[in-house]
Amino acid sequence: MAYTVTLVPGDGTGPELTEATRRVLEATGVELTWDVQQAGVDVMESAGTPLPPGTLDSIKRNGVALKGPITTPIGTGFRSVNVALRHELGLYACVRPCKSYAGVRSRYEGVDIVVVRENTEDLYAGIEFESGTDDARAVIEFLNARQPKQISATSGISIKPLSPEGSERIVRYAFDYARANGRRRVSCITKANIMKHTDGLFLAVFREVAKDYPEIEAWETLVDALCMGLVQRPEEFDVLVLPNLYGDIISDLTAGLVGGLGVAPGANIGTGAAVFEATHGSAPKYKGQNKVNPTAMILSGKLMLEHLGERDAARRLEDAVAAVIAEGKSVTYDLKPTRDDPTAVGTSEYADAIIARLG
């Protein structure tokens, strides 16, 4: 079956990373037609916006996008393209698998964790009141009149909304993911003992939804205990489902357990579209140097193949990546024992080595 996928090269090192990924994905034999669309600082001037409407329309039309990293311009008045995409496409689930590959330097072995982060609610909903403003004072007065704990009138306020429907949607996604990918356990990560009406609600929803998945073990872990557990025995954890803020922090921690940003892929899933992209940013200082590591982007492509139902091709691709990394010969500078190793290859040559394995 042929698939039409929106390809957004992005900016900074994005174009070279997505080009390497495109070639590797095509080498799996899956028939892919690329609808190339622009976004980021490079099109800002010509299009008058870093996210041209045609790019958004293409992703909506095709339902699937492979996206390179995009720089968030500072001080231009434009909002982050990544935030805009999440909002416009209703990308409510951020999925970040963190897996150990032999040959990637890390303190741990045998880690295979999938972080499923809620992407739309929580303290990240962006509902905030600046200290000293009339709005902040009005909110504080309202709250002080309704409960005994008095908030200082000079406080800044950030609101943490969690809804039952938003919680159910992400928890169900985590269990469905576990079921589809042969995972054994889903852990619900909260601070439900303290934040009873938000995290407590998330946990209550988790307990209900878990009943529909009797073959999957449902664990409940407090986020502080999780942090200790992850650094002591990360191999015990499987799928984690978390509200937005904990998910943001924990997914960086788990990326660190398996060797860092260069090998951390990601998927943003919505009801009508899915966008696949590396966890890292545009690394602009390396732009055009054919230097940076495309593994995270290529593994995001592997997630895309799984999403499309091409599981065999996804497995072959992951095996080829793992073999090239384990051999340690044709790998980028960051996967070598020292960063100035003269035997390191470029982005494109690393992709060639993976393609040779797929052949």
| 43 and 254 Cβ atoms separated by less than 8 Å | no
Residue of 9, 247, 262, 346 interacting with ligand NAD (CB under 6 A): 262
Q: Which stretch binds ligand NAD (CB under 6 A): 24-32, 63-71, 86-94, 98-106?
A: 63-71
Q: Which of 354, 335, 333, 342 is nearest to 290 (CA)?
A: 333
Does 98 bind ligand NAD (CB under 6 A)? Our answer is: no
Shortest reach from residue 106's CB to ligand NAD, in Å: 15
Q: Which is nearer to ligand NAD, 78 or 286 (CB)?
A: 286
Tokens of 344: 């390191």
Task: List C-alpha distances in Å: 309 to 3, 71, 158, 181.
Answer: 11, 31, 40, 11
In Å, the largest CA–CA distance within the chain is 70
The single-letter DSSP state of residue 194 is: T
Shortest reach from residue 11's CB to ligand NAD, in Å: 9
Residue of 84, 253, 261, 322 interacting with ligand NAD (CB under 6 A): 261
Active site residue 99: no
Q: Which is nearer to ligand NAD, 58 or 251 (CB)?
A: 251
Number of residues that bind ligand NAD (CB under 6 A): 17
Does 72 bind ligand NAD (CB under 6 A)? Our answer is: yes
Does 55 bind ligand NAD (CB under 6 A)? Our answer is: no
Active site residue 122: no
Residue of 19, 199, 277, 306 interacting with ligand NAD (CB under 6 A): 277
Does 322 bind ligand NAD (CB under 6 A)? Our answer is: no
Active site residue 248: yes
- Amino acid code (one letter) for 341: D
Q: Which is nearer to ligand NAD, 243 or 262 (CB)?
A: 262
Active site residue 285: no
Out of 92, 124, 177, 350, the active site residue is: 124
Instruction: Give the list of residues 6+ apart from residue 80 with CB closer than 8 angstroms, or none.
Output: 72
Shortest reach from residue 256's CB to ligand NAD, in Å: 12
Shortest reach from residue 62's CB to ligand NAD, in Å: 19
| 201 and 252 Cβ atoms separated by less than 8 Å | no
Q: Which stretch binds ligand NAD (CB under 6 A): 178-186, 234-242, 289-297, 309-317?
A: 289-297
Q: How many residues does the chain have?
A: 359
The single-letter DSSP state of residue 150 is: P
**Nearest-5° angle of CA 101, CA 102, CA 105?**
90
Q: Which of 272, 275, 264, 270 is nearest to 334 (CA)?
A: 264
Instruction: Give the list of residues 6+ apart from residue 309 with CB closer than 8 angstroms, or none.
Output: none
Shortest reach from residue 353's CB to ligand NAD, in Å: 16
Does 351 bind ligand NAD (CB under 6 A)? Our answer is: no
Measured distance CA(242)–CA(105) in Å, rounded: 27
Query: In this chain, which residue has its C-beta nearest to ligand NAD?
Result: 281
Does 334 bind ligand NAD (CB under 6 A)? Our answer is: yes
- Terminal Cα-to-Cα distance of the chain (whole angstroms): 20
Torsional class of 94: left (φ above 0), alpha (ψ -120 to 50), beta (otherwise) = beta
Catalytic positions = 124, 191, 224, 248
Q: Which residues bind ligand NAD (CB under 6 A)?
A: 69-72, 82, 261-262, 277, 280-283, 286, 292-293, 296, 334
